[in-house]
Chain A
Amino acid sequence: MLAGPVQDLVEELTRLPGIGPKTAQRLAFHILKVDTADARRLAGAIVGVKEKTRFCARCFNISTTELCGYCTADRRDPTLVCVVEEARDIEAVEKTGEFKGRYHVLGGAISPIDGVGPDDLRIAELLARIPSEGIAEIIVATNPNVEGEATGMYLARLISPLGVKITRIASGLPVGGDLEYADEVTLGRAFEGRREFPH
């Protein structure tokens, strides 16, 4: 039987995603071994992330200030908005370096079995941004699964009548790969989303 405080730590760690009892125990014993200063820094970082961050008032990205860095950057095109499910998806899009507009974080996708409807997502907030920021195009970058597609279709139904261009990111093949090695689902989607060569 582990000493009380160690047991407490193991239990807390087990509640984290992707961490089972064995990993939790390994982590707990590691923390037991490190300097008190290191342990304080870890604890401080955990508390800090809760106390010092909030949602960006405009796009609902994680931010330390009223508006996040993407919303306040001068160089970014305010008429172009990329809609994602979660704040972590922004980082994935940013890594591409292809997108120079602003973001909007929905906070999930429509999923009736999980009790998530349009009103549980930040859809009304997105609609409110269209006139106030003069948005010209909305790019839907929700996940390419059943729920993400349904959310995209729902947004298209709401936004198209407003005269704003709404697009869906393409599903397709990895660059530099061979067609022969592409999985069937991805290849099938790539055909569906084919486009004409520019004239």
Chain B
Amino acid sequence: MQLRSLRLTDFRNYADAAVEFRPGLNLVVGRNGQGKTNLLEAINVLSGLGSHRGAAGEAMVRQGAERAVLSGTGSAGGRDVRVDAEVKRTGGTRLLVNRVAVERMSASSSAGMLVAVAFSPDDLVIIKGGPEERRRLLDQGAARVRPLGATERQEFERVLRQRTGLLKAASTSHRALATLDVWDESFARAGAVVVRNRLAVLDRLRPEVLRRYRSVSGQAGEVSVEYKASWLEPGTASAASEEGLRAALFDALAKARSRDLERGVSTVGPQRDDVEVLLEGADARLFASQGEQRTLALSLRMAERDLVAANRGEDPILLLDDIFSELDEVRRGHLVEMVAASGQTIATATSGAGWPMAVSQTLTVEAGRVLARE
């Protein structure tokens, strides 16, 4: 999988820029605040995942513009591909692959998408941050494996918003309550699909995380990732069918109803679930050292890469956002190994010096302009 060209219009600090990429390692250098990370962010948006920094559309559109337009060409699945994205200031991104809207794409044509996996120093939040960071890892994974996963999650988000809207209205008008049964049913159905997708991703990530962790840490540690949902019996998640999940969620909503009405929010469901990263059986968030946490975060991202590679039958594009500065010698070595074995990598750094591997081209970014240099 390869990105050959990228055009950015009104994206972040880029008014209008065109960049050509090569196979192998593309190094993007420049001082801070010139737009290096924005370039990686644009590629992440084109791979259908929005900002790897979790930014909203509003933040990605250049000041004074109504929309940002991105356009990339490359190859995926042995075919030429063109991806266009329009990010609206008001929120929402429209993505076209070979000029067909993603949500209208057939299963066979979605195999031709460009997929990127981003590594950033902020990845540590996967371990140290709140549950939403870990849910995002799974939801993004689900969307990467199957574009429909993103649509299914949006449908759940919509039902969640409607149910929450109803709970809020119910506090002032009792008649609004009449439809709560119906929304609970929709919620259970859409929520079960989201959780089923997450569990499927988790099952495939688990062995890869363990393998990567052992390799990077050089130790035979036991690492596992487990889905944690207040509405599921512990340990039953992985064996649950979609129907089973739906029934469990529906029951949990019924039990939570009075509390939900009192607080005006949905207190159970996929929007509250978490993923526990366990190191030697203990929650890594609380019990792992800073170094172990960094290794775990890196291993999770690498496992995500492995998942995409296995799913697509080819390497995804790797995006490394100033990651080397944060890593020690050993972890750096493993990352270098991964990059060397990959088809294409786009990495940012403040300087081009000291790269322990062959660089295909160096791009210099200065105030929203990109210059190529051999």
Q: Write the residues of chain A forming the contact surface with B, with a CB cutoff of 8 angstroms.
A: 110-113, 115, 117-119, 146-147, 149-150, 153-154, 157, 180-185, 187-188
Contact = CB atoms under 8 A, between A and B. Distances in A.
B165 A113 contact: yes
Interface stretch (B75-83, B88-96, B181-189, B281-289): B181-189
Given A150-B179, A153-B185, A113 B106 contact: no
Nearest to B149: A184
A154 to B, nearest CB: 5
Counting chain A CB atoms within 10 Å of each CB, which of B106, B151, B186, B190 scores highest? B106
B148 A185 contact: yes
A183 B105 contact: yes
B341 interface: no
B166 interface: yes
Contacts of B148: 184-185, 188
B106 A181 contact: yes
Given A118-B179, A150-B183, A112 B165 contact: yes
A188 B103 CA distance: 13
Contact of B163 (A112, A118, A184): A112
Interface stretch (B31-39, B123-131, B153-161): B153-161
B110 interface: yes
A18 B152 CA distance: 28
Counting chain B CB atoms within 10 Å of each CB, which of A110, A118, A154, A184 scores highest? A184
Contact of B182 (A157, A180, A184): A157
Nearest to A151: B182
Interface residues of B, number: 32
Contact of A146 (B104, B107, B159, B166): B159
Contact of B105 (A110, A111, A154, A184): A184
Contacts of B103: 183, 185
A188 B148 CA distance: 10
B162 interface: yes
Given A180-B108, A184-B106, A154 B162 contact: no
14 contacts: A112-B176, A112-B179, A117-B169, A117-B173, A146-B159, A150-B179, A150-B182, A157-B181, A180-B106, A183-B104, A183-B106, A184-B107, A185-B148, A187-B106
A182 B161 contact: no
Contacts of A149: 186
B175 interface: yes
Nearest to A115: B169
Interface string B95-129: 00000000111111010000000000000000000
Shortest beta-carbon contacts, A-B, top 6: A112-B165, A112-B166, A113-B165, A184-B148, A154-B182, A153-B182
A110 B106 contact: no
A104 B293 CA distance: 60
Contacts of A115: 169
Contacts of A146: 155, 158-159, 162, 186, 190
B110 A184 contact: yes
Counting chain B CB atoms within 10 Å of each CB, which of A111, A113, A182, A183 scores highest? A183
Nearest to A179: B106
A187 B107 contact: yes
A187 B186 CA distance: 20
B239 interface: no
Given A146-B186, A183-B104, A184-B106, A110 B179 contact: yes
B313 to A, nearest CB: 19
B358 interface: no
B178 interface: yes
A150 B176 contact: no
A113 B182 contact: no
A112 B162 contact: yes
Contacts of A183: 103-106
